[in-house]
Each structure stands twice: as C-alpha cells, then as structure tokens.
Amino acid sequence: MNKRGLSDIVTTVIIVLLALVAIALIWVFLRNVLFRAGEDIEEETRLFGTSFSIIDNTMRLRWNNDVLFFVERDPVGSSAAVFPVFVFEDEKDNRMAVYKYNNTPVNELERVKIDIKNKEHGFGYEESLKRILVYPATFNKAGEVITTRDPSDVYDASTFQKQVVYIDKCGTLDKENTEYRLTKDIDFIVLNSSDSQPQCFHISADDVTLDGRGHTINCLGCGITNGAVFSQGLKYAIIRNFDIRGFFGFWIQETNKSLIFNNTINNSGNDGYAGAIGVLLLGGSDNRIENNKLLESWGVGIYIGASTSFVNSTTVNNPENSVISNNFVCGNGGDLFCSNDINTIGSGNIFDTNQGCVNLNRTRGCS
C-alpha cells in the first residue's frame, strides 16, 4: 500500500473518531437537558389542580403602600408542600415577584395572612398598583422554585385607588379617602395678621392625599402663623410633590401615620420670623418625613417635639416612632431639632446641625 493511501485511511479514521466524540458530547448535553426537563415536568405535575384564592374583603393597602390580605388554599390538588408566590403589577405593566412565603407551606383549606411591605413588592408612593397575582409554587429536586404557568387568582388592585379631586386654589380638604391634585401654581396672599385663613390647605379628614404635582405655592406677606398645609388629630395624611416658598411649611399635629414625601420647602418665614419652620411635627405616632429638601428656613428645617412656645403655646404629647429619612436639610437657622427624642430614627439624611435628634444619622454634611 502506498503512503498516500495509508494517509487517507488515517485521516478518515480521525474524522470518524472526532465525529463520534462530537456525538457523545452532544448526547451528554441533550441527556442532561432532557433529564432536567423531565424533572421539571414531573415537578410541575405535582402542582396540577392546586390553587390559591385571594379573600377579597380582607385586602388592605396601608398608607405607605404596604399590602395586607389573606389567601386560602383550595381543597383539591397536590399533596406536596405548596406555598404562594405573588406578582405585583403596576399601571405601566412593570412586574415584581415576591417569594416571601417560600418557607410557609399551606395546607388544603388553610387561610394564611399575607403582609407584604412596600420595599418587598418594590412599588413606591408614586406608582399605582394594577393587579396582584398569586401562583401556587413548590421546590423541584434542585431546590429551585417552580410555579404553575398561570396564576390561580388575580386581584384588581385598582380598587385601592382613592377618589380624585382636582383643585386650583387653597381651601379645606374634608373628603375622606380622597386624593386632591393641584393643577397650577398658587400665590397665597396674606393681607394682615388677622387673616381668617392662616393656612393655604387645611386637611380635616382621614386618609387624604394632597399631591402638589410639582406646583409651587408662594406666600406673599406670610407671618409666623401662615402655613402651607395644616393637619391636626387625623390619620393617613399624605403630602407630596410640592414646591413651597416663603411659608411656614407643613404643620402636622397629633396626626398618626402621615407621610411627607418629595417636597421642597425654601425660605420658610421670608419676613424674618425666627420661629418659622419647614416641617413641624407635634405629637402623634408612626409619621414619616422622607425625600424632602428643606432649605434656608429662618428657624428650623425639621422640628419634632411635644410643644412650641412661639404659636399659641401649643402643648401635646411627644411624637413616637417617627422616621426621618433621605432628606436634604441645609442652610436653615437649625437643620434638625428634637425637643424630646422619642423613638425618632432615620438614615440617609444630609444636614449640618442637629439638636436633640440622637438617633438620626447623616450621610454627610451640607458642604
């Protein structure tokens, strides 16, 4: 046999061997894929017929977008350890899955309390929830969570939405469970110190949201008693998205579970009143002041306490469980003041001066 013929045979053998090796590698890969797919199919059949129902009349949306409700597992389906997985969806079709209850298997006909915090479902104060979906789920052999392809129940979260009222001037906000939306900038003019309306907005009902939608309220001739927003003795007030200028800003007294969010208050008390304050929080409990800018107040950017001596000698109980977070408080006569620090906490704030708010940490100073 000549050398050329031998070389051809060797080449052919090598090609055949390489082909066999390639086939073997492909088979190993396909076998693993098919094996995993078979496992997944086997595991998914364990969820066949299993479902959860959201109990409609238990659904509650808290003031800070925490969601509380109950689910019940239906009396048919898998005998496996099954738990609920929730998907939250907003009006822009953004989705967030919540796997909080992976270690809470639910028996047939068992009713379980579900409490999902704002930070867990991921939608903040600005987003509107559209739907909450629940999927039965279990673990496969690899320890991964698998769910049914389709949700077993869907809750229409648009029922959470408040009645919306559009406003274009100052006044009393007295409709419970209502969101008031400002449609234009306002010049609030104070003619004399005995003005019958010392505040631009007076919240006088529970569960009111006042949304400035980025508009400015500018006070002309304001004195120490003239405030942008006043609330007393209520709960679930939300004040957000304002640009306040030349005002004693927000006076929140003996109000529980209020939220002051994403506002700018600049130069409160522009006539030189040393007592003028950006945000005044007197009494009440579980109130939050978050993501605000408080600038160049003659007095204090944020005042938290039980009493003030500069307006009507107001005296109330100390505030409890106040949260002051992610605020920019700079250029004020005093940035933060707590007359008696009772459980006031917070982080992410930027300020220079702090009197008495011992549990408030700052990210950095103003300069």
- Position 45 pLDDT exceeds 70: no
Residue 263: which pLDDT band, with cuts at 50, 70 and 90? Answer: very high
Task: Report the pLDDT averaged over residues 244-268.
Answer: 88
User: What whole-number distance in Å separates Cα of residue 320 and Cα of residue 311?
Assistant: 22
Per-residue burial over 149-158, b = 16 or more CB atoms within 10 Å of its CB, e = otherwise: eebbbebebe
Q: Does the domain spanning 162-364 belong to CATH 2.160.20.10?
A: yes
pLDDT at 268: 63
- Position 36 pLDDT exceeds 70: no
> What's the distance, CA 216 to chain centroid?
24
pLDDT at 309: 46
- Asked which of 8-12, 103-107, 323-327 is least confident by mean pLDDT, the reply is 8-12
- Position 6 pLDDT exceeds 60: no
pLDDT at 192: 61
Helix runs in the chain, H state only: 3-45, 118-121
Percent of the residues in the chain that have a pLDDT greater than 90, as a whole number: 39
pLDDT at 163: 84
Domain boundaries, the chain: 52-159, 162-364
pLDDT at 87: 95
pLDDT, the chain, mean: 82
Residue 126: which pLDDT band, with cuts at 50, 70 and 90? Answer: low
pLDDT at 274: 45
Q: Tell me the C-alpha to C-alpha distance, in Å, between residue 169 and each of 183, 184, 276, 278, 358.
A: 9, 8, 23, 21, 39
User: What whole-number distance in Å separates Cα of residue 244 and Cα of residue 214?
Assistant: 10
Task: Report the pLDDT averaged over residues 48-55.
Answer: 90
Summarize pLDDT for 285-339 with one digit per residue, the tens. Answer: 889 999 999 998 888 899 988 765 444 555 677 788 889 999 999 998 889 988 8
pLDDT at 206: 92
Task: Report the pLDDT averaged over residues 242-252.
Answer: 87
- Position 253 pLDDT exceeds 70: yes
> Are 117 and 91 a contacting pair, CB within 8 Å?
no
- Asked which of 62-66, 123-127, 265-269 is least confident by mean pLDDT, the reply is 123-127
| Class at the top of the CATH hierarchy for domain 52-159 | mainly beta
3 burial type by CB count under 10 A (0-12 exposed, 13-18 middle, 19+ buried): exposed
Task: Report the pLDDT averaged over residues 78-97.
Answer: 87
pLDDT at 161: 73
Summarize pLDDT for 189-216 with one digit per residue, the tens. Answer: 776 655 555 789 999 999 899 999 999 9
Same fold, 52-159 and 162-364: no
Q: Tell me the C-alpha to C-alpha distance, in Å, between residue 194 and each of 25, 225, 264, 266, 305.
A: 90, 10, 27, 24, 27
Summarize pLDDT for 338-358 with one digit per residue, the tens. Answer: 886 566 888 899 999 998 888
**8 or 72, which is more confident:** 72
Summarize pLDDT for 147-205 with one digit per residue, the tens. Answer: 999 999 999 887 777 788 999 999 999 999 899 999 999 988 776 655 555 789 999 99
